[in-house]
Structure 1
């Protein structure tokens, strides 16, 4: 049951017109958070905004392509003007390879479109939102990531490469963000039945999907600060025992776990 526990905070959610982004926006609004909705399609954003407002939340919808820096700057300006400074950034907008084919058979333009949306998009948002968070000494960022970031996949080379790069980007920023009181997390929702995921050939026979409401609840807990101790880490909401991760956060940080690292081939491997 909603508690209004996030009243007074502001979130910016990309890809908020449909799928996980829409549900996250509505879930945060139900907890009292003001929501800035960013996406490419005005109609779907407006529908999401209406649902958020129905919960009594303030909100604003801004049509923008996250790969275009100027459009992102203007979206952030409008959201902060109308709602206030941003406490939580949700980088959710994403694309996936259109076909399951090896790299040499891919459509080059679509391949790079996936990379740009999944990596340049978050960069553009981070570049615009982080200066304000740094100046205030607080803030939280969630990058919607994927298990594809952690394993090779020869049929989804653009998606897997972009998600691995996004995870590496978070890792590279983690120490500097921590010194300014900002938490960043990469969270995979697992395989959930969105238009994008359900349309992937590899999931055509999928019978049991992950829970979108559970991912929404996880995001609400991020906004409440439940996972701050896991700053800079990868969380798989669909598989992890989240209570165990929270309880073992100090151990996970000390072991430098849940990050991308090269595994040594022997004890004295020079790259170990």
Structure 2
């Protein structure tokens, strides 16, 4: 067998939802439909923002990057999952498995920082409206968006590289629909506890810092909104950030639920369900929220179609 990093395993077998053989075709059609709508919805957001003059504000510029990350996240996970459903399992090479882990974790980190950048944008627009245009200029927004992608695609190496150095000796069956650290750690025949602990301690601030930043900015936003004298003014101002709040709640809610579930056999199905919510439904949920709750997006849709 082809070896890499001193491993005797050159490929892995993703079981997907192996215990639901009778429903695989139904789930295949369902998830294929969801994936198609996810790509169409996010591409539609990108197209509308790129082609409409009224959607050239920083908020929609960052929304385009969020849609791009959602497309990358779905495309990294869903096609392989569809193959596993259709064939009753999906063989993935060692390099392919590590690559999937890299792009998955990188996109998650990128979205964490993108959501924090979008909250900063809302903070400036609501709490400092007179200086908003001068602060959030073209140079700053491009710099912030580039940094979110750069941080996502480099900081995740701290977690991916230790996994890439695991030694896999015998078993290569992963009871999941994508490559993840936990099942790979279980398959490894080397002592991985120290490497995983280092990766965990390093990656924890990557999620806590953006989440904490979002909470702080929205505390200031709510305090500013409460100072607005009219009820209609409060509602109008709050509506400009309500969509972002829902997206943040959905993203971090599924992310926290996923990694707080203990890694035991009886929780495997629950882990798969939460992973589905995180990798399949959330990327579809984001464009729906911004389409139905944002008047500017609605107007752009009516104008184009």
- TM-score when normalising by structure 2: 0.26
**Structure with more of its chain in strand, by fraction:** 1
- TM-score when normalising by structure 1: 0.29
Q: Who wins on radius of gyration, i.e. which is larger?
A: 2
- Greater RCO (CA < 8 Å, at least 6 residues apart): 2
